[in-house]
Amino acid sequence: MSSCIFCKIVAGQIPAAVVLETSDAVAFRDINAQAPHHYLVIPRKHVEAIKDLEDADQALAGALLLAARDVARQQGLDSYRLVVNTGPDAGQTVFHIHVHVLGGRGFAWPPG
Ligand code: AMP
């Protein structure tokens, strides 16, 4: 989608600190890191949010989780948190699915 900032990162039109690329996904450092390790894993395909995934996107959904696993492995993280904010009330601000991979510190539960 031409106005989507994460589509522009996928297309190489704006810079990002990319740490992993697969046929389905791209992972890069979050520009406003909330932990010593903070990456975003996004699908190459534009899908606004988890609630917009279709049954036919099963492989894509799995590919995102596996890419998140691989980013964590590559970065030497054994304990980490994955977050997928879905909708404004949950804190989603960029409407292109992204899995946050957060690590390098402890995390509280329940989340805020
Ligand atoms: P969310 O609030 O779950 O939608 O997360 C959006 C995330 O995207 C935030 O953590 C932002 O810091 C991050 N972000 C926004 N623009 C960029 C960018 N150009 N490069 C890297 N991260 C970004």
CATH number of the domain where residue 38 is located: 3.30.428.10
Among 7, 40, 84, which residue has the most ligand 1 atoms within 8 Å of its CB, making it the best to mutate? 40
Phi/psi at 99 (5° precision)? -100, 120
**pLDDT tens digit string along 42-87?**
999 999 999 999 999 999 999 999 999 999 999 999 999 999 999 9
Quote the number of domains for the chain: 1
Cis? peptide before 43, omega within 30° of 0 = no
Distance CA 27, CA 9 (A): 10
**Of 57, 46, 56, residue with least CA distance to 9:** 46
pTM for this one? 0.98
> Is 100 among the catalytic positions?
no
Question: What would the two tokens of residue 81 be?
Answer: 């948190």
Domain that holds residue 40: 5-103
Distance CA 111, CA 36 (A): 18
Atom of ligand 1 nearest to the CA of 95: 4
